[in-house]
Amino acid sequence: MKKRKLGNELEVSALGLGCMGLSFGYGPATEKDKAIKLIREAFEQGITFFDSAEAYGPFKNEKLLGEAVAPFRKEVVIATKFGFKEGEPAKGLDSHPERIRKVAEASLKRLNTDVIDLFYQHRVDPDIPIEDVAGTVKDLIKEGKVKYFGLSEAGAQTIRKAHAVQPVNALQSEYSLWWREPEKEIIPTLEELGIGLVPFSPLGKGFLTGKINDKTEFAENDFRNIVPRFNEENRKANQALVDLLGEIAHGMEATPAQVAIAWLLAQKPWIVPIPGTTKSHRLTENIGGAAIELSYTELEKIEAALARIDVQGARYPEQLQQLVGN
Q: Find the CATH number of the domain harbouring 274.
A: 3.20.20.100
The pLDDT of residue 214 is 92
Q: Among 46, 34, 16, which Cα is nearest to 279's?
A: 34
Task: Say if strands 10-13 and 3-6 run parallel, antiparallel, or are unpaired.
Answer: antiparallel
Task: Evaluate whether residue 147 is within a structural domain.
Answer: yes
pLDDT digits (tens, 9 = 90+) for 173-200: 999 999 999 999 999 999 999 999 999 9
The pLDDT of residue 142 is 98
Task: Evaluate whether residue 66 is within a structural domain.
Answer: yes
Task: Evaluate whether residue 227 is within a structural domain.
Answer: yes
Please give the chain's pLDDT, 326 residues, in tens.
999 999 999 999 999 999 999 999 998 999 999 999 999 999 999 999 999 999 999 999 999 999 999 999 999 999 999 999 999 999 999 999 999 999 999 999 999 999 999 999 999 999 999 999 999 999 999 999 999 999 999 999 999 999 999 999 999 999 999 999 999 999 999 999 999 999 999 999 999 999 999 999 999 999 999 999 999 999 999 999 999 899 989 989 999 999 999 999 999 999 999 999 999 999 999 999 999 999 999 999 899 988 999 999 999 988 888 889 89
| Helices and strands: H and E segment counts in the chain | 11, 9
The pLDDT of residue 305 is 87
Task: Evaluate whether residue 326 is within a structural domain.
Answer: no
Q: Give the count of domains, the chain.
A: 1
Q: Which residue(s) pair with 82 in the sheet?
A: 121
Task: Evaluate whether residue 129 is within a structural domain.
Answer: yes
Long-range pairs for 43-48: beta carbons < 8 A, 24 or more residues apart: 43/69, 43/72, 43/75, 43/76, 45/1, 45/283, 45/284, 45/287, 46/1, 46/13, 46/287, 47/1, 47/13, 47/15, 47/16, 47/17, 47/287, 48/12, 48/13, 48/75, 48/76, 48/77
Task: Evaluate whether residue 268 is within a structural domain.
Answer: yes
- Cα 164 vs. chain centroid, distance in angstroms? 24
Residue 81 to residue 103: CA distance in whole angstroms: 8
Task: Evaluate whether residue 296 is within a structural domain.
Answer: yes
Q: Which residues contact 107 (CB under 8 A, 6 or more apart)?
A: 54, 62, 80, 82, 116
Query: 215 by DSSP, 3-state: which?
Result: coil
Which secondary-structure segment (H or E) carries 79? strand 77-82
Which residues are marked as active site?
56
The pLDDT of residue 205 is 95
ω into 58 cis (within 30 of 0) = yes
Task: Evaluate whether residue 219 is within a structural domain.
Answer: yes
Residue span of the structural domain in which 303 resides:
3-321
